[in-house]
Structure 1
Amino acid sequence: MDNPAAVRGQHVQSNRVALTVVTAIFFMWGFLTCLNDILIPHLKAAFALTWVQAMLVQFTFFGAYFLMSLPAGRLVAAVGYKRGIVAGLAIAGVGALLFWPAAHAHVYGLFLAALFVLATGITVLQVAANPYVALLGPEQTASSRLTLAQSMNALGTTLAPLFGGLLILSAEPRTDEALALLPQAEALAYRAAEAQSVQLPYFGLAVALFVLAAAIWMFRLPAIPGVEEGATGGRIRDVLRHPHLRYGVLAIFFYVGAEVSIGSVLVNFLSMPGIGEGLTEQEATRYVSLYWGGALVGRLVGTVLLARLDPRRLLGIFALVVMALLAVTMLAGGGLAKWAVVSIGLFNSIMFPTIFALAIARLGALTGKGSSLLVMAIVGGAVVPLAMGWVADNHGLQLSFLLPMLCYLYIVFYAWRGSRHAA
């Protein structure tokens, strides 16, 4: 007869190894998502886009979450968490490969199509990996565990701007005014070369995604008893009866919308004459890396804090601090505004994993459905940046930070009221 203590020890060890393996996935989707912050200024210059047109990058990418999260949930329910993770990595790899023909054709719409496929793969990963990590241990430490996994996501977002600045924004930028002075053929050749500079970086990422998919396929991930087997149970309206899940869906919508909006404009905001004090776009990517590096530090520290403090209280305090930093960003200039906006990353750190863990708490067999709805809410990253782009086009980039500030106000409400569930 097996020793119960020994069985529990083996179970804990198996969970720890599985958590370590799955964190590599969080790194990859953080890296790929943050590269959009480099693509936006790059494609804006390569195709002479307005802010609203440039923000279609985020609209397309995060719109895939809205359209594909329920199909992704059905896929994960049918094949399980492990095969769902492998499928997500493979689909994302195909999307990365599609950047090659898109750049060769020099058609902005094809870039958007490639981004949609890439984001579809990441949607499947989000639906599978987030609840898997949250459920891979005791409920009371779910926020801490998911925050630890998300720290690898933050490592990816920290390195992506440096990678993109080196390989994508390495050419000397030319303004629309300077290009207008060149012969038309030369200007078109410059824009085509700018678009094609993404081919090799995304090809390399496609190879990495396929290799990671193969590695996960060969690894034995433990099942989640009582959840994975019942993942197909329940209906959407059943899970929406839980108010902490309903409010959580909106919290994810507003949080991701705010985070993506800020990241999308950072390169251009920091290179403004009154803010970055002479920074070029490539130099500004270093500060974008610091912004995401703050999220990495915050998640590592948050992993410890969330294991000891009330996650709701900590979430509310962090959201209030971000609102104060956004006020400084809008009202100040020079180094004060620059460091205020860069510091936001530190306090963004715990928000997504904490909201996610609070929203799926005590859902049981409905966890899969709840996870799909939360991932669908990531469409906020499509809607809010587009609205922020409209404000920037019509009222200036600095004033447009008012929109994410309102998003964080809702997160304060969710932290202190909306996240509480029935006993």
Structure 2
Amino acid sequence: METTAKNNGRIVAIVVMFFIYAMISFVTNLAAPIGTIWGYQFEGNSVLGMMGNMMNFAAYLFMGIPAGNLLVKIGYKKTALWALAVGIVGLFVQFLSSSVGTDTVVTTFNSTNADGVAHSFPITLNFFIYLLGAFICGFCVCMLNTVVCPMLNLLGGGGNKGNQLLQFGGALNSFSGTMTPFFVGMLIGVLTDKTQIGDVNPLLFIGIGIFAVAFVILSFVAIPEPNTTSGKKVKYSHSPWNFRHTVLGVIGIFFYVGIEVGIPGTLNFYLADQTANGAGVVGQASTIAGAIVAIYWLFMLVGRTLSGFISGAVSSRTQLIAVSCTAIVLIILAIFIPKESTLPVPEFLYEGGAEVPVSAFLLILCGLCTSIMWGGIFNLAVEGLGKYTAQASGIFMMMVVGGGIMPLVQNAIANSIGYMASYWLVVAMLAYLLFYGLVGSKNVNTDIPVDEEIDPRNL
């Protein structure tokens, strides 16, 4: 009877973690498609358009380690509840940006785009309010990620089984990520001078509602608290930084999130851009771009689902090596194929006979590859950490800032020398992940004790 109750509690905890995992993607994936609105207002400057994405991920840099410490001090459930409350605030602030400060010019931004022409843009107060909202939402998703990843790994028992739960949770994360840019694209249609941030308010209201409902549900659900079961302070004689495979994995996560966000984010700008630097898509370019990018996230859903089924038998290391190699090949092909080589957009995505470059289809195929990387890297990097896992999770979340920094660097390159040339940066980051799978993921610090050790001063 006790075993049955324990198993039921474990299942409920897994379901809750899956739901939270999906919500993380919903909030995160709002930034890039909404950024196309700002980018259009700033005459196609994708760097300014990606600033919301940058602020979202910059929050990880400040909140990652504190979030890990929160897991140790107040537990998984309370950390998640605080995260949901913060998310409601962040989405509401983004909503305010549609009506507050729209006519107040704060500064101007000067740049030279790929066409060689100098541009100057007035930046209004509501843009900074939007960035603040994105930054607050970044705190939310950082805290939620810090809870979900180690908890699913723990509930799965670590190893291949832990990775299996991470991949199934990631599949739901990808489903949510698939729908977000698709809905934003439908709300925007084609970018014009009349397109405003307020056009996506319905999605912000949906997000606020989801967070509020999740807060109520989570309040009544029991979540395992591995760090607070003894009621006594555990002694930590080392730290996650003492494990080589963890340190290299932290670097890998920094690059990985830059890859995951940079591929579809830059592609969205490329397809929606109506200047000579863009793909030259005829028709409702933003709708088409949103639909194409949504397929990238759909492929991530497919990849994570498949990985979930095979991860019990195929190691994280083997999967990481295979997908890194495949993604490198796909992106190099996309870079060299000219944009004049096009394929029709499937009718179920857009009924208008539009065509997009073949490169776009190769890039969205990378979703199958990037799909398993997060779970695989996290699983490999925390293997054998024992009591240091919660602290390591916080460090990992801090380095998710790569999802803001690297796409920003990529779009700076895109503005200077072209969108497709910017993908060489992605190739370089994938090469590092290949190295991590081949060499860097091995635990060479097995002599460090990782079992719980109670501090004698608390006996």
Is 1:360 aligned with 2:362? no
The within-5 A match list for 1:17-56 is 17-48=12-43, 50-56=45-51
> d(CA) in 2 for partners of 1:302 and 1:231?
37
Aligned to 2:354: none
Take 1:340 and 1:309, find their aligned partners in 2: how far apart are those partners?
A: 26
Is 2:26–2:180's contact at 8 Å kept on the other side of the alignment?
yes
Report if the CA contact (8 A) 2:59-2:138 is conserved: yes
Shift in CA distance, 345/85, structure 1 to aligned 2, threshold 3 Å: same
The one-letter code matched in structure 2 to 1:138 is: G
Counterpart mapping for 1:58-207 below 5 A: 58-105=53-100, 106=102, 107-140=126-159, 141-167=161-187, 169-170=188-189, 172-174=190-192, 190=194, 194-207=196-209
Letter in 2 for 1:154: S
2:401 & 2:272 partners in 1: Cα distance? 28
| 8 Å CA contact 1:258, 1:404 repeated in 2 | yes
In structure 2, C-alpha distance between the alignment counterparts of 1:225 and 1:379, rounded to whole Å? 26
Secondary structure of 2:311's partner? helix
CA separation of 1:353 and 1:224: change in aligned 2, threshold 3 A: same
Question: Bigger CA drift: 327-336 or 219-228?
Answer: 219-228
2:325 is aligned to: 320
Give me the TM-score of the superposition, normalised by structure 2: 0.82
Residue 393 of structure 1 deviates from its aligned partner by: 1.1
The alignment's TM-score, normalised by the length of structure 1, stands at 0.89
Residue identity opposite 1:71 in structure 2: P
Whether 1:386 and 2:408 are equivalent positions in the alignment is yes
Q: Decide whether the 8 Å contact of 2:320 with 2:372 is kept in 1.
A: yes
Tell me: CA distance 1:225–1:50, structure 2 relative to 1, closer, same or farther (3 Å). Answer: closer
Residues matched between the structures, number: 399
Displacement after TM superposition at 1:49 (Å): 5.8
- Of 222, 226, 241, 1:220 maps to 222
**2:325 is matched by which residue type in structure 1?**
L
Q: Matched residues in 1 for 2:329 and 2:131: separation?
A: 34
Q: 8 Å contact 1:227–1:364 — kept in the other structure? A: no
Compute the displacement of 1:55 (Å): 2.1
Relative to structure 1, the CA distance from residue 146 to residue 231 in structure 2 (aligned partners, 3 Å threshold; closer, same or farther) is: farther
Preserved CA contact (<8 Å) 1:275 1:337: no
Structure (1/2) with the larger strand percentage: 2
Shift of residue 165, structure 1, vs aligned partner: 1.5
More helix by share: 1
Structure 1 unaligned segments of length 5 or more: list them: 1-5, 175-186
Cα distance change, pair 26–232 in 1 and its aligned pair in 2 (3 A)? farther
Identity %: 25
Structure 2 equivalent of residue 183 of structure 1: none
Cα distance in 2 for partners of 1:129, 1:120 equals 14
Contact 1:77-1:228 at 8 Å conserved across structures = no
Q: Does residue 1:299 correspond to 2:304, yes or no? A: yes
Q: Distance in 1 between matches of 2:307 and 2:251?
A: 23
Deviation at residue 195 of structure 1 after TM alignment: 2.2
Distance in 2, Cα, partners of 1:228 & 1:295: 39
